[in-house]
Structure 1
């Protein structure tokens, strides 16, 4: 093995002696020495196995039908000097000395492929530790395996769905990251109760590696496995998506359909007591109770009092909350609507008074759900050009807009049932639970003074209802746009695209159409008229209504 003037992790194989012509035919001369050619080796195998009717695919020979890749490797039973440091590197108990000795005893494999673009590419062989890696994976605890599996699920179900990111990452990089983390932290950490922290440690390391375009090979750290792979615009897109996922903490795994849409009842499990409690919450979210909380402005005062009395009684029968909690809930819903009619464009000394009146009213609308009330406060700050304050509130709201939260008319998943199984939540009243765990849509009335001007369409003759997550990202974009922060504006736009793509907390065609409208408005502001037209067309396809979908009129204005 000759590793001089070769990239770490690769080697040239110098022929010392052989009488076999078949071996000599696979060699090339260089500086008076014969080296085994990885290319000639594969060509010979192609002729032997498939009579040249197959093809060479990287280090593999592909059969004529294209169904199988066979990788023929050379086994070296001695440990390689570039990986000597690995034997004594770990200060942790992982891997154990027995496992280390087994890996060393097995040696390594030489895989017939060189460094792409290298002048000696056809004479180079990659040093593979795949058997040693299998030894390491066999030592994994269940928690280590779960972390690795969750990373692979995010890669396949979320990251790979973006065309520019599809081929950037592979499972080998994820496995390498888990190896490094396993070596760095004590084995006592890899327990089920620490699963979230372990997973986030691995995910944060992935983000760090992409940030710096560095992912050291586990056995030969001098070999950067990201070299010439995670670069340019695709790297930026990948990083933006990783940032978006990371900001959701462990909940980023819920972007995966196979996790977030898992159906508890399809498994025929016995229904536990907490499931009955969950059914009560589900019933409330799909019942008239939630609808009746929004009808304040279309009834007379006497009718409202009668409705409120019935609602209060209904709440008491559901879970026995205190009258104070019930009143706070409905006052909050009422304030969200009433604040939208306080005029903000005033003059002289009245302007500040009007602003204070609106602010005090909007502040009282945070007690009916986890996010929409805060977003209404952010809207007030945005309308009064207090963009930094608005961004702070939006960030807080997004922290609450997580996939395990409850929404109106939704189907409960196993995540929701497990959440309500927690004793912390079972001890709370239903009204209190709604305030903590529900993400309501944000609703703007006709002629609302709080809806951003960019989203207002005066021709529309109906109220506005948007998913809170979607509205949060467009408000984020608008704030950064007015602050002339191009990078953050683009990040917010990509985040909105991700929400639309994954249908994250978007439960209907009408909601999805509204999300596309927001995206189209943002694109118009950035000057991308053609893409904006395409987006508005998508909105119209999802929900065609002149009176309820502003995309129809926006398309007409674009011409």
Structure 2
């Protein structure tokens, strides 16, 4: 919400989609992201162009006259300065169309090693978690092809949800229909935003049924045979639950009817496979089985599903995730299994997921002072809006980030560091902003004060802050990323507000906005990262702590500087993922090498830089590392 409101016309906007956004953190759940150019918009007829200032918006016309239902061609109406769009344009019938296949090729930037094309997405794996990135185009209008859906919504969803979804429009993802005559040029209409709202308008039992369908697909249906395990996907399960809810096929959605609701959904799946028709929920004319579920594979899939159907609900015993619950109930009929998340998950597990999601999703991309001010103004306006308790906590975290980003951004603008009155006043303002971040943020946010003091040559003040941080990090109830002692954490902050927990017991890795210099010695790494389309450097908190101590002690006590360096060396060499997450080891080895090079130990520095190059390139700092190795060899 915040990022979209502050986005400039030439920015790239993104949103999370898929299972994670819907609320499923299941084993194997991947991360799905959709990206689009804020300066480009799709319209369905020329009259809609009146809503845009065409001097700064590139307009694209959807032309579905020759495409299967749910797909369309995209005609470029106004000139674009975007190279990817320009390179993807193909002439057809004296008009210029954007080819989906060419656009896919142009935008797949292979952010991480091993990435590959998968449908409309760039797919890969980072840290054992799979991701899908899809570049698409946004549209502020509801597709005419889906107008019948609006009239179909009598009982579910309610009118307010329907109106909101229609106002939010849709997206176009770069994949054509395999049976269409313009497969390589066509785009698929995506209703990701609408689907997200639909899932969140489900009641708890409907949501559990949807989750049950996803688990059964993965653990039961897909295990039947290699020939059929790629025919169905979780999107088909989502479509089933949408249709069943809207048709009122289940008289009462409640936990007692959970299995009955699941069985109705399963029978609808069986019917669809038998008929070879899976109607898209928004555009029913779009049969999503048309290109995959047909012929001999369709018959085989039907026989496999029918075999499960003949077993009845006992087919759920084939699911390892579900079997233990069912067998427990069969052995003890009086046993009650709770379905409420609050009763199933402990406070610590809940907090761990919440704070980890907040820490990893704060937008760190304020490019300049104007951008910082825009963020602050947006936050000020949002404070007065009705927000959920989760949104309040997220907004608090974003505010903390923007305050310290603003402080460093303005400080970097001051080239005259003479101790004049103007600089003194400005410095007090910076310090006040950073102290606010420490007051409202988590423990790791205090580190930015130490970095600021180090940057402004107040080494003793910086060391005082690092000692304070050490005391807080030594607390037995500390939650650092996902590492926590549940009993100690509960003793320390159990039952407290999330805001209190965040301030007293939570710490994250340090993420430096690459548009702003925080530590002079890391400028080459930030530049390298920025050149490779990374907006931030992610550095383990404990690495930054020892780094700042080393930089400060060099000017005060060389013996203590050496001690700080030894502590950093032990941490980087021997940590097993507790304080240095393996995806952040590239920058950790780099920082160790920088410190070793500063002490004149070039051999050790060279080894550290070489180790940095062998790590997973999460921070994309290889150019800086190679430059430092070259400098070592010259000297």
Q: Could you say which structure has the higher strand fraction?
A: 2
What TM-score, normalized to structure 1? 0.45
Does 1 or 2 have the higher relative contact order (CA < 8 Å, sep 6+)?
A: 1
